[in-house]
Structure 1
Amino acid sequence: MKKTAVMLSLALTFSTASALTNIKIASISPLSGPSSNQGLQLKNGTQLAINDLKAEFAKAGLSVSLVAYDDQADPATGTAAARRVVADKSILAVVGTLNSGVAIPASAAMAPSHVAMVSPVNTNEKVTDRGLKNMNRVCARDDAQGPAGGEFVVNNLKAKKVYVLNDKTPYGQGLAEQAEKAMKAAGATIVQSEGVTAEERDFTAVITKIQALKPDAIYFGGLYGQVGPFLKQVRDKGINTPVVGGDGFDSEDLIKLAGSGASNVYFTTVAPPVESVPAAKALAANYQKTFGAPLQGYGVMSYDAAKVVLRGILNAYKLNKNKVPTRPQVETSIRSGTYKDLMTGEVKFDKNGDRMTAKMYVIAVQGGKRSTAGTLNVLRK
């Protein structure tokens, strides 16, 4: 009798499991190449959000899983991934991307099919200023981040002459332009403003100009995979000028790549230092246990972006009379929702998909060690 009861219980369990309707969300981020550290944080943060909400989906008769695409931080590769997402009808929404230059064409490729996208960290203004109904973000924008960095250079570092670099990507160029405007407005002189390709790793010519112009600070709109070698080379030449940038610096790999050059470095970031988010303590422990690596700010932002996606799907499911929602229904639900159970506070989007209230952080790196140098509240009007 006991054996029969156990078998009946197992049969019911398997029956319930098989009755779940399978849906998917996707992540698009660089899982290989020089930006893979941040890209993996995006993917893994998304997976943890799925794990945490799986029980709620099961109660609704849904099974949710992640499909992770590697965009290699390349617009063409990211757009190809977006087209694969569109082709897989079981994917209802996307968390991504890492790079604004990838987000812009990828979101455009998915817009006609109404595949909603929530970005954790894309900051270029064009990401949301195109008026796409499917594109949203949970971070502040370059028109907030760039000025914050520029004002820090002039007001905190007291720089009067600044050398500006950018990596010629939409992210790096947009960030540097906004920072440059703020520095000029605050009275600083831009002694040089130029771009170097994102693939460049030999900065001999740039360093020669820096030696001749003797700026009080260097502002670099770029990513850690390039900035790390730049820091090493510029410090090896005995130049200890402060180097300032945006959230593209925000990776532990910056310190590894810069080596002894990881000092007198400052950057603004839309991703919080993990220790500054009390609610993230358990998430950090779970991340370490699950992936064998420490949680970073990009993982926190991606966890929140994924929860917005998942809550949006659940809300659309309820509005659709407890049936699997369509992509347009999910798109509308995500944009119109208010999300309160997040690590970084409440998320509500404006008409373009920008977060109404966000925070920005200024991080200092001295002797290879990071510390928080300031926090700024950002409000969308």
Structure 2
Amino acid sequence: MKKTALSLSVLAALALGTAGAQTTIRIASLSPLSGGQSDLGTQIRNGTQLAVNEYKAQFKKLGFDLQLVPYDDQADPATGTAAARKIAADRQILAVVGTLNSGVAIPSSAALQASHVAMVSPANTANQVTDRGLPNMNRIVARDDAQGGAGANFISGTLKAKKVYVLNDKTAYGEGLSAEVEKALKAKSVNVVANEGTEEKSDFSSIIAKIKLQNPDAIYFGGIYNQVGVFIKQLREAGVTTPVIGGDGLDSSELATIAGAGATNIYFTTVAAPIEALPAAKTFAASYQKTFNDTAQGFGAFGYDAAKVVLQGVLNAIRSNGNKLPTRTQVESAIRKGNFTGLLSGAVSFNSVGDRRAATMYVMNITGGKYKLDSSINVKPAKQ
């Protein structure tokens, strides 16, 4: 009799525990957490974590335990695609914040498409990211056709350059951005003397020799800060003071560190606003510093915003599903069709292919190793 009473009490306790249990909902971040681009990738992961921390209580009230699962794509398409397959296999993951690199986003989003895992990118700019029309791929930043035009306008309008040497890093991002810049420069009758691809990371002497022969008014480099920083350092050491312009791949505090004394007369367009350009970001920046003992950068803020879009989308899908666990397809649809507010970068909604309907480009200047905002430009995608 005693054993029976004990067994019943244990069963009752287990039943109560089950009734009060929380259903786990996970979102993933996908960005480089190791390797040469980890500075930006970690910003994205950390911004996502702050958003998850803020939304945990809302999910808990609805009976869900919200968790973040960070994945390291190492800025490599194959590694990112392998991570995407792992994400697809984890049925608790309903959406992804990522990636940093367009070359990673394109195959990764395709790998997630069949499982209807939505992605919201805080960084990808290549036109092909959304031109494929995948229902799961969205971004909260401007496209290369907008960024390339902004860069070309700055080179021809502000710098008054008549002769430009263009470089790219042979990635989907660098090649796409440089092609847009070249096209826009030629439309303005600016002489593009080269559009050269290079995967060089340590010795740019042969390229610098060619640049000296051409003596351009400006150099455009479609690439990432860890490669471009080394190039600028060697360029300045070779006595070339020509302005260097790039895209948002240069948007890292590490660029000036790598370029050293050569970190001057540098400009870059960026889709991620500098923290000081976001009036609502003061609290976020303080929270970031306190949580991670590090300074928030633009991609940290946009990782945060992309995560808030994801989390609001998941909440919308839960509510539309009678406060029950939604399917991935329901989340995918809720994100694409939603109107999202309360973000650092302003309200977000997506067009039919997942582009943000209205975005802002920023032009930054580095002089003497110091970063400052030069100007900002409002842009819209060609398709609405």
TM-score over 0.5 (shorter chain): yes
Structure 2 partner of 1:236? 237
**Is 2:325 the partner of 1:324?**
yes
Q: Distance in 2 between matches of 1:47 and 1:122?
A: 19
Q: Distance in 2 between matches of 1:80 and 1:254?
A: 29
Structure 2 partner of 1:113? 115
2:28 is aligned with what amino acid? Answer: A
Deviation at 1:305, TM superposition (A): 0.3
Structure 2 partner of 1:144? 146
Aligned residue runs from structure 1 range 1-381, under 5 A: 19-197=21-199, 200-380=201-381, 381=384
Q: Distance in 1 between matches of 2:328 and 2:256?
A: 41
Deviation at 1:16, TM superposition (A): 9.7
Deviation at 1:127, TM superposition (A): 0.4
**Partner deviation per Cα, 1:207-257 (whole Å, 9 max, x = no partner):** 000111100000000000000000000000010000000000000000100
Structure 1 partner of 2:9? none
RMSD: 1.3
**Partner deviation per Cα, 1:56-114 (whole Å, 9 max, x = no partner):** 11111111111111000000000000000011010000000000000000000000010
State the number of aligned residues: 368
Q: Distance in 2 between matches of 1:34 and 1:368?
A: 20
Q: Distance in 2 between matches of 1:300 and 1:134?
A: 22
**Partner deviation per Cα, 1:353-377 (whole Å, 9 max, x = no partner):** 0000110100000000011110000
2:189 is aligned with what amino acid? Answer: G
Q: Secondary structure of the residue that 1:183 maps to in structure 2? A: helix
1:257 is aligned with what amino acid? Answer: I
Structure 2 partner of 1:6? none
Distance of aligned partners of 1:327 and 1:37 in 2 relative to their CA distance in 1, 3 Å threshold: same
Q: Distance in 2 between matches of 1:116 and 1:201?
A: 37
Q: Distance in 1 between matches of 2:234 and 2:380?
A: 38
Q: Distance in 1 between matches of 2:371 and 2:127?
A: 28
Distance of aligned partners of 1:136 and 1:17 in 2 relative to their CA distance in 1, 3 Å threshold: farther
1:273 is aligned with what amino acid? Answer: P
- The answer for unaligned runs of 5 or more in structure 2 is 1-12
Q: Distance in 1 between matches of 2:258 and 2:240?
A: 17
Q: Distance in 2 between matches of 1:272 and 1:52?
A: 21
Q: Secondary structure of the residue that 2:114 maps to in structure 1? A: helix
Q: Distance in 1 between matches of 2:19 and 2:46?
A: 25
2:161 is aligned with what amino acid? Answer: A
Q: Distance in 1 between matches of 2:276 and 2:18?
A: 40
Q: Distance in 2 between matches of 1:243 and 1:16?
A: 61
Distance of aligned partners of 1:215 and 1:325 in 2 relative to their CA distance in 1, 3 Å threshold: same
1:138 is aligned with what amino acid? Answer: I
Q: Secondary structure of the residue that 1:313 maps to in structure 2? A: helix
Q: Distance in 2 between matches of 1:167 and 1:48?
A: 32
Deviation at 1:201, TM superposition (A): 2.2
Q: Distance in 2 between matches of 1:252 and 1:161?
A: 29
Asked if structure 1 preserves the Cα contact closer than 8 Å seen for 2:247 and 2:270, the reply is yes
Q: Secondary structure of the residue that 1:279 maps to in structure 2? A: helix
Asked if structure 1 preserves the Cα contact closer than 8 Å seen for 2:28 and 2:96, the reply is yes
Distance of aligned partners of 1:139 and 1:286 in 2 relative to their CA distance in 1, 3 Å threshold: same
Asked if structure 1 preserves the Cα contact closer than 8 Å seen for 2:164 and 2:220, the reply is yes
2:285 is aligned with what amino acid? Answer: A
Distance of aligned partners of 1:17 and 1:375 in 2 relative to their CA distance in 1, 3 Å threshold: farther
Q: Distance in 2 between matches of 1:312 and 1:15?
A: 29
Q: Secondary structure of the residue that 2:272 maps to in structure 1? A: coil
Q: Distance in 2 between matches of 1:338 and 1:239?
A: 48
1:87 is aligned with what amino acid? Answer: A
Q: Secondary structure of the residue that 1:263 maps to in structure 2? A: coil
Asked if structure 1 preserves the Cα contact closer than 8 Å seen for 2:46 and 2:300, the reply is yes
- The answer for unaligned runs of 5 or more in structure 1 is 1-10
Q: Distance in 2 between matches of 1:73 and 1:235?
A: 28
Deviation at 1:15, TM superposition (A): 5.4
1:308 is aligned with what amino acid? Answer: V
1:179 is aligned with what amino acid? Answer: V
Q: Secondary structure of the residue that 1:50 maps to in structure 2? A: helix
Distance of aligned partners of 1:242 and 1:60 in 2 relative to their CA distance in 1, 3 Å threshold: same
2:187 is aligned with what amino acid? Answer: A
Deviation at 1:276, TM superposition (A): 1.0
Q: Distance in 1 between matches of 2:259 and 2:172?
A: 24
Percent of residue pairs bearing the same amino acid type: 60
Normalised by the length of structure 2, the TM-score is 0.94
